[in-house]
A = this chain, B = another copy of it.
Amino acid sequence: MTTPRRRRARDPLTAQKIVTVALDIVEGEGLPALTMRRVADDLGVAPMSLYRHVGDRRGLLVAMLDVVALAMPPVPHSEPREEVVQILSRLHETFRAHSWVVSVLSGDGLASSHVMPLMDQLFDCFDRAGLDPLAAIRAWQVLFYYLAGESIFAHVGAVAQSREVFRSVDPAELPAIGRLHDFAGRREEQADFAHNLACLVDLLLPGS
């Protein structure tokens, strides 16, 4: 094994290296596997070495969010309604591809400043569509909360005990739920999202 146990002056630890390794762990094994000690282990470094470069665990998570935010391809400008759909779809793709992101946003209350340009683009669309600031904020809430809820529960739902609760319902006792049993499960959730998003945008943007 030629893996060095110690860093050399020529091979210094950097925030970038730490974030890269942390992203590898979290993409492959999920958020619970991401511990400071594990990141340090994978780098062949003492746990405390990380703290000079990323502050603490929350600092590491923000740095990871920054990388994801900066990796999002820009959304081209177009007619406001279409542009809103594209922006929300981009966020949806991001949450799907990196499901830990929503957990960090909601669970730890963290955020990356690098999403703000995309937010600005979205609110500019609202403005061009004729929404006043209050209506724009409400539109944002409806769209983002739906998006966030969808991302959280679509991800966690795949392995959740809550599925078992739903399945174990007695159709004789709760008939309206019973009627759903045939439909649940074998549906395209991607299609549902696209459909629901289109409906919501139609609702929120005036005169189309």
Contact = CB atoms under 8 A, between A and B. Distances in A.
Contacts of A83: none
Q: How many copies does the complex hold?
A: 2
Given A111-B161, A149-B145, A127 B176 contact: yes
B177 A123 contact: yes
A138 B196 contact: yes
Contacts of A196: 138, 141-142
A183 B141 CA distance: 14
A196 to B, nearest CB: 5
Interface in A101-128: 103, 105-113, 116-117, 119-124, 126-127
A64 to B, nearest CB: 14
Given A120-B177, A123-B180, A176-B120, A110 B161 contact: yes
A144 interface: yes
Given A109-B159, A111-B160, A116-B165, A180 B141 contact: no
21 contacts: A58-B161, A105-B162, A106-B153, A106-B156, A107-B107, A107-B156, A111-B162, A111-B165, A111-B166, A113-B165, A116-B166, A124-B175, A137-B184, A137-B187, A141-B150, A141-B196, A142-B146, A144-B153, A145-B148, A145-B150, A146-B146
Closest 4 CB pairs of A and B: A145-B149, A109-B160, A111-B162, A120-B174
Interface of A: 58, 62, 103, 105-113, 116-117, 119-124, 126-127, 133-134, 136-138, 141-142, 144-150, 152-153, 156-157, 159-162, 165-166, 168-169, 174-177, 179-180, 182-184, 187, 192, 195-196, 199-200, 203
